[in-house]
């Protein structure tokens, strides 16, 4: 535990400066806007079992506390990472015993529980003894039990916009009680924007940067570009628009086979603070979407490159990323995998469908209607598996 010079426990700015009401929450307009789901839940004053998922520093845990406060219900906060084996059942039973009536269980890192631990909650959710607000930065549709998912409402928290984080930083600078108002901080708009950009949508990280920049300084504190350089915040950082423009330029350069342009835009992204794993993921999608059937092994090569990057580390891993970007740029291209997929989806979504021909139905082999191409390839190929009209639509040609 860290103490300050007055003997009190030190609480970081990111933990002190948190919203005290729903109105103070920045961003997440899709949840708290006029037609937002959480706004409707709070206005109806009806507690629901919820699941918040999304990147760190977007307010998931604090919003969960504010919901229980707004609904007038007691809450118990548990972090699944801190539970030792065998403690989970005792924890749940203790909550039910010690908090008669409706209790909100705020369960951080819910994906850390195994399937049996997750499903131990089910009877208490059904009786309403516990209202769950699960929180995770992982994809819940891969990490959570289907039985639990069917009993909660999953809500995605999105990365905060640059302007949202700038507003949070300004509020923290002005606040004399929980923030840095006592330091009389002087800082330019562009510097705040640069901090926000490098924080990549994470308000906690942005407040951490701001606090570090003011350490051991007497008021009035003036934050300069030199201070940013000292903690590794450089002028390469990009705005959201610049980031997506460079991602677009990177993909389009690989698509046309321009390896030099591909390298330039990839390095601009890396220098701008982009997560290299995000870039590798985009290259994996590119290997399927743009290289596709022209060289299906490009997917395996990209996967192997991603694994090699993890083993080499981020600095030397750039060499592997360079190899991947140039490799993908130089490949022949085919977008049939995507175009066929989109056309079939469009056909099915329009409601158009054909009956399965009798010789392809279940039991057709037993009835002697199915011709196995391994035994008689030419005769099997003469049969019509789908109509020529449908085939033409899938190929992108009307017949």
* pLDDT for the residue numbered 235: 54
Domains in the chain, number: 4
20 domain residue, yes or no: no
One domain for residues 69 and 112: yes
Distance CA 54, CA 27 (A): 13
CATH number at residue 214: 1.10.8.60
One domain for residues 177 and 194: yes
368 domain residue, yes or no: yes
Distance CA 392, CA 399 (A): 5
* pLDDT for the residue numbered 232: 66
CA angle, residues 47, 49, 52, in degrees to nearest 5: 110
225 domain residue, yes or no: yes
**DSSP per position, 183-244:** G--B--HHHHHHHHHHHTT-HHHHHHHHHHHHTT-PSSPB--HHHHHHTT--TT---HHHHH
Contacts of 158 (CB under 8 A, 6+ apart): 27, 28, 30, 54, 55, 58, 201
The residue from 109, 129, 156 where one domain ends is 156
* pLDDT for the residue numbered 3: 36
* pLDDT for the residue numbered 6: 42
One domain for residues 144 and 250: no
* pLDDT for the residue numbered 234: 59
Distance CA 225, CA 42 (A): 43
5 domain residue, yes or no: no
pTM above 0.75, yes or no: no
Distance CA 343, CA 39 (A): 38
One domain for residues 370 and 257: no
Low-confidence ranges of the chain (pLDDT < 50): 1-7, 399
One domain for residues 77 and 146: yes
The residue from 307, 330, 353 where one domain ends is 330
17 domain residue, yes or no: no
Residues in the chain: 399
Count the neighbouring beta carbons within 10 Å of the beta carbon of residue 302: 22
Domain region containing 40: 28-156
Taking each helix axis from N to C end, the angle separating 314-330 and 297-312, rounded to the nearest 10 degrees, works out to 170
CA angle, residues 158, 162, 167, in degrees to nearest 5: 105
CATH number at residue 94: 3.40.50.300
């Amino acid at each position: 535990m860290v103490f300050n010079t007055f003997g009190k426990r030190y609480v970081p700015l990111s933990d002190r400066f948190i919203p005290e009401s729903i109105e103070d929450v920045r961003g997440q307009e899709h949840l708290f806007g006029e037609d937002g789901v959480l706004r409707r839940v709070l206005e109806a004053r009806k507690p629901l079992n919820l699941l918040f998922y999304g990147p760190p520093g977007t307010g998931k845990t604090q919003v969960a506390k504010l919901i229980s406060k707004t609904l007038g219900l007691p809450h118990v906060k548990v972090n699944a990472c801190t539970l030792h084996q065998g403690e989970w059942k005792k924890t749940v039973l203790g909550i039910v015993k010690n908090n008669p009536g409706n209790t909100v269980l705020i369960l951080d890192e819910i994906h850390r529980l195994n399937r049996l631990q997750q499903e131990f909650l089910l009877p208490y959710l059904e009786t309403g003894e516990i209202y769950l607000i699960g929180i995770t930065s992982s994809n819940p549709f891969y990490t959570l039990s289907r039985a639990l998912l069917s009993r909660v409402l999953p809500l995605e928290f999105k990365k905060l916009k640059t302007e949202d984080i700038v507003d949070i930083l300004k509020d923290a600078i002005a606040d004399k009680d929980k923030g840095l108002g006592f330091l009389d901080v002087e800082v330019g708009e562009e510097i705040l924007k640069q901090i926000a950009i490098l924080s990549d949508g994470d308000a906690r990280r942005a407040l951490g940067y701001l606090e570090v920049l003011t350490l051991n300084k007497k008021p009035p504190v003036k934050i300069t570009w030199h201070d940013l350089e000292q903690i590794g915040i450089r002028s390469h950082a990009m705005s959201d628009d610049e980031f997506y423009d460079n991602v677009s330029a990177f993909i389009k350069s690989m698509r046309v086979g321009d390896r030099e342009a591909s390298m330039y835009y990839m390095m601009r992204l890396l220098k701008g603070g982009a997560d290299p794993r995000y870039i590798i993921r985009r290259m994996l999608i590119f290997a399927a979407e743009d290289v596709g059937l022209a060289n299906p092994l490009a997917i395996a090569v990209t996967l192997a490159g991603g694994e090699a990057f993890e083993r080499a580390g981020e600095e030397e891993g750039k060499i592997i990323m360079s190899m991947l970007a140039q490799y993908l740029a130089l490949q022949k291209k085919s977008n049939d995998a995507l175009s066929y997929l989109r056309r079939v989806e469009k056909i099915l979504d329009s409601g158009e469908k054909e009956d399965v021909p009798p010789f392809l139905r279940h039991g057709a082999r037993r009835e002697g209607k199915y011709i196995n191409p391994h035994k008689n390839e030419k005769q099997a190929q003469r049969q019509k598996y789908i109509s020529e009209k449908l085939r033409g639509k899938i190929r992108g040609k009307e017949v």
